């Protein structure tokens, strides 16, 4: 089996745009949780979420037009926008330059999403109901499909190797990175851009998760206290959004070009409890 290393990092998170900003704010104990102000929530039991801070790009805010053309922005959902931004950061960080067709066919993408373009689906359903089918955009479907995050990234960088998406709820990003590493280890690729992207903080998403009693509802007035896994006062999870992407590379390939190596992926395992759709098995 070939050895696999990480040579590029990219992130868009509720703590800011970029790895350095997000990591420094994690170390400072900051929270990205805040009240939802972009849609009606007064009739919802959970009214807070960890959303990406939008802005002009200063102070690590996220300015979508810095990463995606304004015309394309109207065609794709935010999870794809976040994936493109995080992938661009990771690609630039890796220092990779693919000059030949052979190199491009040995480089692929595996970026997943648990839900995909839910906000756009919500908007499309309302438009269909109120205005009729002729008002739907021809980009409605391709702008919401989960695999189009990987597809858009592959188009941007000209990557013609394995192109795949993972959909495994909260495990999606980890599975995408693990599966991508296996492709390199098995000699199906030399380079993989891998990770996850999510942007489902919309009225439909919040109402849906609230209906299955998954969301925290006891900290609407103190959102920074809501995300508390393993705590005795935990009462659900906090909806969030963003994207994390890494560049994975075969070890000798990375060494040959003098790449900076952040880490090595030594192993990867995945299992299912075969027990319940949401509850973990009591015996572990």
How much is the mean pLDDT over the chain?
A: 97
Question: Which has the closest alpha carbon to 203: 32, 41, 46, 79?
Answer: 41
* Complete DSSP assignment for 36-94: --SS--TTSS--EEE---BSSSGGG-B-GGGTS-HHHHTTS-HHHHHHHHHHHHHHHHH
Share of the chain above pLDDT 70, in %: 100
Model confidence pLDDT, tens digit, residues 212-266: 999 999 999 999 999 999 999 999 999 999 999 999 999 999 999 999 999 999 9
Model confidence pLDDT, tens digit, residues 37-73: 999 999 999 999 999 999 999 999 999 999 999 999 9
Mean pLDDT (whole number) for 152-166:
98
CA distance 210 to 203: 10
Question: Which has the closest alpha carbon to 163: 107, 209, 222, 87?
Answer: 107
* pLDDT over threshold 80, residue 284: no
Domain ranges within the chain, ordered by starting residue: 4-98+107-263
3-state SS, residue 279: coil
Separation in Å, CA 92 to CA 154, 162, 193, 243: 15, 20, 12, 16
CA distance 79 to 247: 19
CB 167 within 8 A of CB 113: yes
- CB contact burial 237-248 (16+ within 10 A = b; e otherwise): bbbbbbbbbbbb
* pLDDT over threshold 80, residue 148: yes
* pLDDT over threshold 80, residue 28: yes
How many residues does the structure list for the chain?
284
CATH topology of domain 4-98+107-263: Peroxisomal Thiolase; Chain A, domain 1 (3.40.47)
What per-residue confidence (pLDDT) applies to 279?
83
What per-residue confidence (pLDDT) applies to 278?
82
CB 146 within 8 A of CB 168: no
**Backbone region of residue 13 per phi and psi (left: phi > 0; alpha: psi in -120 to 50; beta: other values):** beta
Model confidence pLDDT, tens digit, residues 95-131: 999 999 999 999 999 999 999 999 999 999 999 999 9
Find residue 110's DSSP bridge partners.
164, 194
């Amino acid at each position: 089996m070939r050895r696999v290393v990480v040579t590029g990092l990219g992130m868009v998170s509720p703590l800011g745009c970029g790895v350095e900003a997000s990591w420094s704010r994690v170390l400072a104990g900051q929270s990205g949780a805040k009240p939802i102000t972009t849609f009606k929530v007064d009739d919802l039991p959970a009214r807070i979420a960890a959303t990406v801070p939008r802005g002009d790009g200063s102070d690590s805010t996220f300015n979508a037009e810095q990463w995606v053309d304004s015309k394309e922005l109207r065609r794709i959902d935010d999870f794809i926008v976040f994936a493109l931004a995080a992938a661009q950061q990771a690609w630039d960080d890796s220092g990779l330059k693919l000059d030949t067709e052979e190199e491009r066919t040995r480089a692929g993408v595996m970026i997943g999403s648990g839900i995909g373009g839910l906000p756009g689906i919500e908007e499309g359903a309302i438009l269909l109901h109120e205005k009729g089918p002729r008002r739907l955009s021809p980009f409605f479907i391709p702008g919401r499909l989960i695999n189009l995050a990987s597809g858009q990234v592959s188009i941007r960088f000209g990557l013609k190797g394995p192109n795949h998406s993972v959909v495994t709820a909260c495990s999606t990003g980890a599975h995408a990175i693990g599966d991508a590493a296996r492709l390199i280890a098995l000699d199906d690729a030399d380079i993989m851009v891998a990770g996850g992207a999510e942007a489902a903080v919309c009225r439909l998403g919040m109402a849906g998760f609230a209906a299955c009693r998954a969301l925290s509802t006891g900290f609407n007035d103190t959102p920074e206290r809501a995300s508390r896994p393993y705590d005795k006062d935990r009462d659900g999870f906090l909806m969030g959004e963003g994207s994390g992407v890494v560049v994975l590379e075969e070890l000798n390939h990375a060494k040959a070009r003098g790449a900076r190596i952040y880490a090595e992926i030594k192993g990867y395992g995945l299992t299912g409890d075969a027990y319940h759709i949401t509850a973990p098995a009591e015996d572990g």
